[in-house]
Amino acid sequence: AKSLTSNALAMQRLSSVASKALRIPRAAPKASRSFASGGHEESDFWKNVSLGGLVLVGVVGAWEYKVHLDHHNDPHADPEKNNFPYIRVRNKEFPWSCSDCNLFDSECWKACKGA
């Protein structure tokens, strides 16, 4: 039993030496701060992208505001001056005394009551 144990110890040592000899030596990794470089250039890039986006949003907003004002100043869009065929279409009369007046059209009500 003693020779078996010594044989096992010898095999273990030989195995340990063989595994160390068969290891492929690797070069130590180069010491560097891989996530620390390029931060300034990257932040400057995104700062410029953000500023460009703000300018673009401002220009588009000003354009849309101009279009909005032009639409409201358009004389063709004034329902008081134009009688479009779809305005005042009545399939039946309103159920109140001035049947041609809308419910909240105070000028029409005054004209109807005064006439």
Query: For residue 70, what is the DSSP state?
Result: H
For the cut 70, the answer to whether the pLDDT of residue 98 exceeds it is yes
Report residue 72 as tokens: 């409201």
Per-residue pLDDT reduced to its tens digit, 27-54: 777 777 666 666 788 889 999 999 999 9
CA distance 25 to 5: 32
Domains of the chain: which residue ranges?
A: 56-87
Amino acid letter, 49: V
DSSP string, 89-105: --SS--SSSSTTS-TT-
Across the range 62-72, mean pLDDT stands at 90
Instruction: Report the Cα 10 to chain-centroid distance in Å.
Output: 69
Backbone phi, psi, residue 89, to 5°: -75, 120
pTM exceeds 0.85 for this model: no
